[in-house]
Amino acid sequence: MSNVIFHAHPSRRLQGQLRVASDKSISHRSVILGSVANGKTRIENLLEGEDVLASIRAFQRMGVNIVQNIEERGPVYIIDGVGLNGLHAPGQHLYLGNSGTAFRLIAGLLASQQFASTLTGDDSLSKRPMSRIIEPLVQMGAIIHSADGTPPLSIEPGGELAGITFHPPVASAQVKSAVLLAGLKASGETRIIESVPTRDHTERMLAGFGYPISVTGTEVRLEGGHALTATHVDVPADLSSAAFFIVAALIVPDSRLQLNDVGINPRRSGILDILKRMGADIEIENTRWQGGEEVADLVVTTSELNGCEIHGGDVALAIDEIPVICIAAAAAKGITTIHGAEELRVKESDRIRAVAEGLSRLGIEVVEREDGMTIRGGEFRSAEIDSHADHRIAMAFSVAGMVAKGDVRIMNCRNVATSFPNYIEMANQSGMQITLE
């Protein structure tokens, strides 16, 4: 299955309206918090990708009843929460597939439990750094073992955790969230002070589940010992998934595409700011609030893009979208320079290396650096690209294929199903031309 191949063909225009895949970050957190809340949580529009399903299976193995009901609007998930003290020893390793989010957040939650657990993942996840969560969790009193700072990770029961003041050395919402979830059962206050703001879905959702939490700028504080109360979650469409359609509509001639119900959380919307600096015509319409998150419809029209400077502060607010932003940069006039993106080297693949390598094969002039790259805009030629089994690399280069001089063949695309199970179907519905081998 690993050698699923996308063939991306030149496209004429994109048009119509779409609701892209639901938000993966919010879907994970709704499952995690619903499982340890008191009462029944109802989740609509949950992303049914492989990553989120791995989270569901993990909590089912720890005794949480999670069922899917088919209703008129579509599948609805009901979670019968067991409270913060109601999880049971899983009896087997918790396999979390390709999901770094599930792995780090669940590790934080399990660090305070009075049973042993071992978290594992696939080959890609098993190379990703976990010392960044192990170190603060151990400071709090957790007993965690890892051979080399990567999965598998074993957690032993110990005494009560104690809150800490933590300054994350890397900008990572997953690390912040792991510490916050450990703090739910810790004694005293857990305090996190970030140097740059990162995604705040965990903070918003903890408040939505009734847990007292204080957020001031980039400082987050919570006291351990309170409870979560079940709630209703309606997951918005994922801006990270919408990003591929946004860039495609910007660079394919004569396009006008409306993307509905997209979450535009200001800690996530860096891609919109970056693309607008490049000259993108993106209208934000029908802005509204949905479950504590700002949601809107995005209307995207073909635009003449120009290169720009992208710095670390931009990257922190668009970390998952940088690969497809690089496609926009390669299709733009002039030079785009990206700095402060070294975190991309420890994602599902080394995304700096993968993007630079792919752009070079497409005939684009690119200079790779440790923390980013410089891209000179040009024309894409036909090429074969290795996605390195990274879903965002695969989808980004499928967008490049829309304006290439011939077909772009993208290898190792199976993991697209982790975040966007029906990507090809929806892409072709919009006017993109992708076939599957």
pLDDT in tens, 198-235: 999 999 999 999 999 999 999 999 999 999 999 999 99
Indicate whether 184 belongs to any domain: yes
Convert the pLDDT of each residue in 311-352 to its tens digit.
999 999 999 999 999 999 999 999 999 999 999 999 999 999
Length of the chain: 437
- For the chain, what percent of residues have pLDDT higher than 70? 100
Q: Note the pLDDT of residue 72.
A: 83
Average pLDDT over residues 275-301: 95
**Of 194-198, 209-213, 262-266, which range is least confident?**
194-198
- For the chain, what percent of residues have pLDDT higher than 90? 95
Q: With 90 as the cut, is the pLDDT of residue 247 above it?
A: yes
Indicate whether 421 belongs to any domain: yes
Q: How many structural domains are present in the chain? A: 2
Indicate whether 419 belongs to any domain: yes
Q: Note the pLDDT of residue 311.
A: 95
Average pLDDT score over the chain: 96
* pTM recorded for the entire structure: 0.93
Q: Note the pLDDT of residue 291.
A: 77
Q: Are residues 220 and 339 in the same domain?
A: no
Separation CA 185–CA 192 (nearest Å): 16
Q: Are residues 165 and 293 in the same domain?
A: no
Q: Are residues 267 and 359 in the same domain?
A: yes
CATH number at residue 193: 3.65.10.10
Q: Note the pLDDT of residue 292.
A: 82
Q: Are residues 16 and 48 in the same domain?
A: no
Average pLDDT over residues 226-255: 97
Separation CA 143–CA 160 (nearest Å): 11
Domain boundary among 202, 234, 266: 234
Indicate whether 325 belongs to any domain: yes
Indicate whether 1 belongs to any domain: no
Separation CA 165–CA 60 (nearest Å): 32
Q: Are residues 71 and 11 in the same domain?
A: no
Q: Are residues 18 and 32 in the same domain?
A: no
Q: Are residues 91 and 218 in the same domain?
A: yes
* Burial group, residue 436, by CB count within 10 angstroms (0-12, 13-18, 19+): exposed
Q: Note the pLDDT of residue 437.
A: 85
Indicate whether 230 belongs to any domain: yes
Q: Are residues 272 and 207 in the same domain?
A: no
Q: With 70 as the cut, is the pLDDT of residue 2 above it?
A: no
User: Taking the CA atoms of the chain, what radius of gyration do you get in angstroms?
Assistant: 21
β-pair partners for 67:
78
Separation CA 393–CA 354 (nearest Å): 7
Catalytic residue among 320, 350, 371, 390: 320
Q: Note the pLDDT of residue 1.
A: 39
Tell whether the torsion through CA atoms of 361, 364, 369 and 371 is positive or negative: negative
**Closest to 367 measured CA to CA, from 397, 395, 338, 328:** 338
Q: Are 271 and 239 in contact (CB under 8 A)?
A: yes
Q: Are residues 374 and 314 in the same domain?
A: yes
Average pLDDT over residues 381-401: 97
Separation CA 96–CA 435 (nearest Å): 29
Convert the pLDDT of each residue in 78-126 to its tens digit.
999 999 999 999 999 999 999 999 999 999 999 999 999 999 999 999 9
Q: Are residues 50 and 180 in the same domain?
A: yes
Q: Note the pLDDT of residue 290.
A: 86
Domain boundary among 199, 234, 269: 234
Q: Are residues 52 and 10 in the same domain?
A: no
Q: Indicate if 261 belongs to the active site.
A: no
Domain boundary among 191, 210, 234: 234
Q: Which domain holds residue 32?
A: 24-234
Q: Are residues 296 and 353 in the same domain?
A: yes
Indicate whether 285 belongs to any domain: yes
Indicate whether 157 belongs to any domain: yes
**Closest to 426 measured CA to CA, from 398, 406, 384, 386:** 398
